[in-house]
Amino acid sequence: MTIFGGVSVGYMGKILRVNLSDKSIKIEDLDENLAKNFIGGRGLGVKVIYDEVPPGTHPLSEENKIVVATGPLTGTKAVESGRYCTVTKSPLTGTMHDSHSGGTFGFWLKRSGFDAIIIEGKSDTPVYLLTDNGKAEIKDAGHLWGKTVFEASDALEAEYKPCGIACIGPAGEKLSKIGCIVNEKWRAAGRGGHGAVLGSKKLKAIVSRGDQKPEIKNAAKFDEAVKEARSIISENPVTGQALPDYGTAVLVNILNELGAYPTRNFQTGVFEGAEPTSGEAIAEKILVEKKGCWGCEIQCGRWSKVKNIEAEGPEYETTWSFGADCGVDDLEAIFMSHHLCNEYGLDAIEMGTTIATAMELYQRGYLPEEIKWGDAEAIKDLVEKTGTREGIGDWLAEGSYRLAERFGAPHLFMGVKKQALPAYDPRGVKGHALNYATSNRGGCHLRAYLIAPEVLSLPELIDRFATEGKAQWVIIFQDLFAAVDSAVICKFTTFAIGAPQIADMLAGATGWDITAEDVMKIGERIYTLERAFNAREGFSRKDDYLPKRFLEEPMPEGPSKGHVVPLDEMLDDYYELRGWVDGVPTPEKLKELGL
Amino acid sequence: MTIFGGVSVGYMGKILRVNLSDKSIKIEDLDENLAKNFIGGRGLGVKVIYDEVPPGTHPLSEENKIVVATGPLTGTKAVESGRYCTVTKSPLTGTMHDSHSGGTFGFWLKRSGFDAIIIEGKSDTPVYLLTDNGKAEIKDAGHLWGKTVFEASDALEAEYKPCGIACIGPAGEKLSKIGCIVNEKWRAAGRGGHGAVLGSKKLKAIVSRGDQKPEIKNAAKFDEAVKEARSIISENPVTGQALPDYGTAVLVNILNELGAYPTRNFQTGVFEGAEPTSGEAIAEKILVEKKGCWGCEIQCGRWSKVKNIEAEGPEYETTWSFGADCGVDDLEAIFMSHHLCNEYGLDAIEMGTTIATAMELYQRGYLPEEIKWGDAEAIKDLVEKTGTREGIGDWLAEGSYRLAERFGAPHLFMGVKKQALPAYDPRGVKGHALNYATSNRGGCHLRAYLIAPEVLSLPELIDRFATEGKAQWVIIFQDLFAAVDSAVICKFTTFAIGAPQIADMLAGATGWDITAEDVMKIGERIYTLERAFNAREGFSRKDDYLPKRFLEEPMPEGPSKGHVVPLDEMLDDYYELRGWVDGVPTPEKLKELGL
């Protein structure tokens, strides 16, 4: 069920600036020169946060800002363009941090007349923000504070429908560093604790509605570009078949068969319970129907039913984080854990991996609480405790790194820059390992997705265990993805299309003369500016690390057996190709990119 | 009551290296060239930690080390030489960190035949270390784990008396970042969470005994130098009269009268309850007798009695942290809070200031728990909860910074580099403010003590509100104190004596040709190496900050009314004089110091 489709909305040309301290609201013109250099979405947000958030700002302080942004392709008929992103200094990582979500909210924000919202300051009392046909209003949210995502969404929808709603749950309100922003109840800008940033500002929700539609600048060119992209995507085996048929969890069996499916907090890469928790099992056992975001034909989303609960999900990452990573092979239990995360507004990757860390902490005698591998009932209880910050949940709410550190075993944190790794064991995919290490926002599969060439043969198959040449692959993916996140469209399109098609769609929508090379250069500019922000905060090569487990403990079994990650050699290559020294961009590189 | 005195023990020439992972024990010769460059104590520890703890090591991991060190003056008849220090990478601050304590343990460690102990690795089960007349043994501490400092000390003393005992309490065992190491029950290497480092290694205690006495190399010169120093100290108004008469808390009324006595988490500098909680009030109401460390004539220690409890203290800092900083004017309650810190093994500065932060968090609506200013009963309860990490105590145990961060108000943390400031409001003493900011171990009055010239006219009175020339004062104090901490003698001696007298005592004890200039150069070398360690961990100018309150909120009342700290201008001067760029030593400066 595609939710909407077909309406063309490019740039609105308007940025909404909302200060929650003095309750001021300003509407600023989008600077076209800035847009040409950063496109929109992630790029726009990164530029604003770099320029306006001073070094050393605490992520949960009044001085931090958060940008909620769409791009020129958002809500157009361009492929998979129903998304939005939020950019802020993350309370989880302390880095520049962008988080993305699908659904319909991006479409509605654009329709309400704004390309982006810059949220500043901090309210003393709970509020929500309404953007409505070119106007905005800060409204009292006293009645919504303390409510779950579902309760708050239902209440706001009843008042404003049709509209888009992005809100936080109790986790964000309670400043959980793994609290996220959820839109349409089941879609989340999940990672990095952006929900806590809204919570610290006492902003419960953003409601957007309207019917504003700017023109597409070169409609003929745009239509042709979109048509070509759609055709390529529908013919691609991943976007045209695997993802629609089995959802993202189609990867479960694939990664497990390569021995790179992280199991029990990455102690091994082979999970005995993969099959019953795979995308195929979801399709067979609990799937009601496929579901897509606004304007999306891939339809990787799942609408599932377990007992009397119908909900979206689970995705590959949650299937893993609450499954293999915690030693759970019960699909219904995984579905419920995921569902609870949406209710409380918790990042389902970080929640599952944090519980997995707790389980290994218990296994190795660091944690007094008995939390055993595979105990699905305990997991449900722990998610609830995390949402309300009760007992041990008060520490789980801080994420895996801080939990492991609290109990004196930071080496059991499986992540980078305090953000947990997702569902690919780096020992089995060496290029992906380098991407993990050099990610600007911490452990992440969405800065670059080397799984495409290393596993899925897209655009071609490369040796997953080799290290040579991987730095160049990682850089290309990182730069391309930065541009894609700024367009804003879904990264899954890049299984099929690349910079040329994206450039054509952007050229059509904006009227600019923009080439594939420009797209890649813009991506590099954004990635480098993020890196410069992090460097300003003290990050350097020392932070581009992987947990020792991956460097020193060979994979114990399976098809990746014996492998570790020779990180340093790849890192040297990477920095040289990037024009960085010890992880920090040189002044020459910044100048070359006009930064 | 001086506990011991008169025995001359200079260098033993032996370093004990204990690895708790493989239970190996090695005895290494002290490298005299290293000793000439770093003296001993803090300098020796800093050198070992810099060389042996790799960048990025987690403070609570197996890879961190902790050095327990004496110096060439420890346990000699040199002035105030009963001390020892511990040096490690701090779990509280992440910096190089030295912590110091008086009493008799330093004397006993020396007597047991070792100048220092390097503790490495991590035991699986609780152990304690016995050093005894040139030998060492790792022994089971299963029966001691979970015991308070007093219980553990009594049990070990019963077995080994006469001996020195340094141990951790439940706080250190439970990895509290404000857990300290306590010797002789009432003396603590208090700051920076060194107790948690021992706790992470499952090392409950170190017991030292023996009767080994190396020769003083030039006894005539040494005797003369000591005699001169003692004479100067006894004639000085602070060391000869104020400290013996009223203890360190003689400062309460002095600082309060200058409007620089931090009150209610530094919201003001004037405390209405100063007089009843002053050193004079202690002398009048609860003092039983004065007390000194090994070989000390100043006798600034207090032996006090409240109801049926006799104990050491309170000192100036605890009188303040549990008094003015928490809005408490009840001396007996302060005594009890301090006493509880010793039982649980908690840093009494960080404990009091963390509770003060909790009180302001409540005052300003960040903390749901009702914790009211001046509620002495609540404070006692909170200290106990912190010791056992129950309820909110689980967060208090992380120290003021992490508490404030957890509740979304890091600006209410009154400290530097995650370590809380002590009892001098920086707005009223600008040089001391610069010292706070540039301290290598975070908020601290013991890197440099500008209170001496800015308040006590020692060696001369300088304008406490002026900023010009303060950088040079701070540098001289920082370098001198680094040498004093390496000698190892008490910093209070420097109210009276300086580098010339320290050089003479060192020359006599070691036989070296060492001058006052050498002493200052060694101090600079140590301070700079600490800084280089921090830089390697990512620290720079951005970390040499003060909380915004001191930069932007003028002191609201009293004799320091209207003042803020113009930090940046002093910082520029300081770096220029140091030969550092943005807080980081240049390669030229490192080379000049032979680093």
Q: pLDDT (tens digit, 9 = 90+) per residue, A227-241? A: 999 999 999 999 999
Interchain CB distance below 8 Å, B60 and A540: no
Q: Mean of the pLDDT values across residues A456-475?
A: 97
Instruction: Choose among A61, A410, A542: nearest Cβ to B61.
Output: A410
Is A200's CB within 8 Å of B395's CB?
no
Residues of B with Cβ-Cβ distance to A62 under 8 angstroms: 411
Q: How far apart are CA B160 and CA B154, in angstroms?
A: 10
State the average pLDDT over residues A42-66: 96
Q: Please list every residue in chain B whose beta carbon sits closer than 8 Å to the beta carbon of residue A60.
A: 405, 408-410
CA-nearest residue to B401 within chain A is: A58
Q: Are A157 and A169 in contact, with CB atoms under 8 Å apart?
A: no
| Number of helices (H), then strands (E), in chain B | 25, 19
Angle at Cα A250 formed by Cα A245 and Cα A252, nearest 5°? 160
The minimal CB distance from A60 to the residues B405, B536, B537 is found for B405
Asked if A191 contacts A180 with a C-beta cutoff of 8 angstroms, the reply is: yes
> Which of A60, A394, A401 to mutate to probe the B interface, most B CBs <10 Å?
A60
Cross-chain residue pair A60–B537, CB shorter than 8 Å: no
Q: Which residues of B touch A409 (CB under 8 A)?
A: 60-61
User: In this structure, are residues B519 and B499 in contact, taking their beta carbons and an 8 Å threshold?
Assistant: yes
DSSP code for B102? -
Q: Which amino acid is present at B485?
A: D
Is A408 in contact with B200 (Cβ distance < 8 A)? yes
- On whether the CB atoms of residues A40 and A330 are closer than 8 A, the answer is no
Q: How confident is the model over A3-16, as a mean pLDDT?
A: 66
Burial of B295 (0-12, 13-18, 19+ CB in 10 A): buried
| Residue A82 contacts residue A5 (beta carbons within 8 Å) | no
Comparing alpha-carbon positions, the chain A residue that sits nearest to B60 is A408
What is the CA angle A178-A179-A180, rounded to 5?
115
Is the N-terminal amide bond of A488 cis, ω within 30° of 0?
Answer: yes
Q: What is the mean pLDDT of residues A265-275?
A: 98
Asked if A58 and B411 come within 8 Å (Cβ–Cβ), the reply is yes
Q: State how far Cα B361 lies from the chain centre.
A: 27
Contact A498, A516 (CB under 8 A): yes
Q: What is the pLDDT of residue B80?
A: 85
| Cα(B345)–Cα(B33) distance, integer angstroms | 36
**Of the candidates B390, B370, B286, which has an alpha carbon nearest to the alpha carbon of residue B334?**
B286
Q: What is the mean pLDDT of residues A273-281?
A: 97
Name the phi and psi angles at A375, rounded to 5.
-85, 90
DSSP per-residue letters across B138-170: EEE-TTTTT--HHHHHHHHHHHH-S-EEEE--H
User: Is the alpha carbon torsion for B277, B283, B287, B291 positive or negative?
Assistant: positive
Whether residue A577 contacts residue A475, with contact meaning beta carbons closer than 8 Å, is answered with: yes
Distance from CA of B410 to the nearest CA of A (A): 7
Q: Using one digit for the tens of pLDDT, what is the confidence trace for A40-51?
A: 999 999 999 999
Closest approach of chain B CAs to the CA of A542, in angstroms?
7
Mean pLDDT estimate for chain A: 95
Is the pLDDT at A214 greater than 80, yes or no?
no
Structural element, H or E, at residue A15:
strand A14-19
Strand partners, B584: B581
Nearest by CB to B411, which of A61, A365, A537?
A: A61
Q: What is the pLDDT of residues A374-402, one digit of tens each?
A: 999 999 999 999 999 999 999 999 999 99
Return the residue of A nearest to B538 by Cα.
Answer: A538
Task: Please list every residue in chain B whose beta carbon sits closer than 8 Å to the beta carbon of residue A175.
Answer: 406-408
- Which of the residues B20, B21, B61, B369 would you substitute to probe the A interface, choosing the one with the greatest number of A C-beta atoms within 10 Å? B61
Q: What is the pLDDT of residue B283?
A: 95
pLDDT of residue A208: 98
For residue B166 the two structure tokens come to 């340094």
**In chain B, whose CA is at the least distance from the CA of A177?**
B406
CA distance A438 to chain B (A): 16
Rg of chain A (C-alpha set): 22
Residue pLDDT, tens place only, A314-353:
999 999 999 999 999 999 999 999 999 999 999 999 999 9
The reported pTM is: 0.91
Is A406 strand, coil or helix?
A: helix
Provide the greatest CA pair distance for chain B.
65
Q: Identify the pLDDT of residue B297.
A: 86
Per-residue confidence (pLDDT) for residue B497, from 0 to 100: 96
3-state secondary structure A300-355: CEEEEEECCEEEECCCHHHHHHCCHHHCCCCHHHHHHHHHHHHHHCECHHHHHHHH
Considering only CB atoms, which residues of chain B are within 8 Å of chain A? 55-56, 58, 60-62, 124, 175, 196, 199-200, 365, 394-395, 398, 405-411, 536-540, 542-543, 545
Taking contacts as CB-CB distances below 8 angstroms, the residues of chain A near B539 are 538
- Minimum distance, in Å, between the CA of residue B575 and any CA atom of chain A: 18
Residue B7: the pLDDT is 42
How far apart, in whole angstroms, are the C-alpha atoms of residue A399 and residue A381?
16
Residue A34 has pLDDT above 90, yes or no: yes
CA distance A157 to A46: 30
Radius of gyration of the CA atoms of chain B, in A: 22
pLDDT at B3: 37
Q: Which of A21, A92, A173, A175 would best serve as a mutation to test chain B binding (most B beta carbons within 10 A)?
A: A175
Closest CA relative to residue B46, chosen from B384, B466, B536: B536
Q: Do A411 and B58 touch (CB under 8 A)?
A: yes
pLDDT of the residue at A295:
84
Residue at B23: amino acid letter: K
B493 CA: distance to closest CA in chain A (Å): 38
The span from the CA of B36 to the CA of B71, in Å, is 12
Contact A405 B199 (CB under 8 A): no
Decide if A558 contacts A268 (C-beta within 8 A): yes
Contact B395 A394 (CB under 8 A): yes
Is the CB of B408 less than 8 angstroms away from the CB of A199?
A: yes
Q: Do the chains contact at B395 and A398, CB–CB below 8 Å? A: no
Among B124, B175, B410, beta carbon nearest to A58: B410
Q: Which two tokens stand for residue B70?
A: 């004496």
Q: Residue B533 is which amino acid? A: F
With a cut of 80, say whether residue A1 has pLDDT above it. no
DSSP B58: -
Low-confidence residues in chain B, pLDDT < 70: 1-9
Q: Please give the backbone phi and psi of residue B287, each rounded to the nearest 5 degrees, phi first.
A: -70, 130
How far off is chain A from B93, nearest CA to CA, in Å?
A: 13
Closest B-chain CA to A411 = B61
Q: What is the enclosing helix (H) or strand (E) of B119?
A: strand B116-120
Contacts of residue B407 in chain A, CB cutoff 8 Å?
A: 175
